[in-house]
Amino acid sequence: MDCVVNTAAVYPVPGTSGELSEAQWANTFLLNVTGNYLLARETEWLFKDQNLSGAMVLTGSANAVVPKKGSEAYDTSKAALNHLVRELSIKLSPLVRVNGIAPATVVAGSTMFARDRVMQSLEKYKIAYSVDEDAESLRSKLADFYAQRTLTKRPIIPQDCAQAIVWLLSEQSAKTTGHIIPVDGGLSEAFLR
């Protein structure tokens, strides 16, 4: 095994009350934080046993440093993941480099953007849409809205994240570990403080 990459995560959608249930909160941390920890723990022995260098990339989010109303569980789970990347980089060094990426919202191709969540977001941001529009058209409107909040004004797509991951896994980044690489189009609210 040369590398481990995890992009799996969950963004919980509140029910009609507008609040998450305790189970949704717990499940968000279970998947977004504990899942990454267990993945690292279960692969650590293999890296040690083969005694070859390797790399691990975990997918965080710009949300880890940009607080917003209504996404507390997701945002704080991603902040915890950022710190987990740093902890794992210490624990698994020098054999395994551990880094993360922090994309801004990736709407295209994301299973976290089911039609109901897209419509909720469009309503939240007061973006006009028709319930008759197909899901892809709705996603495009939302992606364009998010893009306009960045310096590059371009939506983040899965390929952008993939290119950052490939770089972090490659020898080109052989001296990089314990870091979170933004893939956010220049989201100024997420600049390092």
- 20-55: pLDDT as tens digits: 999 999 999 999 999 999 999 999 999 999 999 999
Among candidate residues 98, 97, 133, the one with its CA nearest the CA of residue 118: 133
Query: What pLDDT, on the 0 to 100 scale, is given for residue 2?
Result: 95
24 plus 66 within the same structural domain? yes
47 plus 115 within the same structural domain? no
28 plus 52 within the same structural domain? yes
Query: What pLDDT, on the 0 to 100 scale, is given for residue 115?
Result: 86
Q: List Cβ neighbours of 81 (8 Å cut-off, separation of 6 or more).
A: 32, 33, 36, 58, 60, 64, 100
Query: What pLDDT, on the 0 to 100 scale, is given for residue 90?
Result: 98
**How many folded domains does the chain comprise?**
2
171 plus 115 within the same structural domain? no
43 plus 79 within the same structural domain? yes
Domain that holds residue 110: 106-149
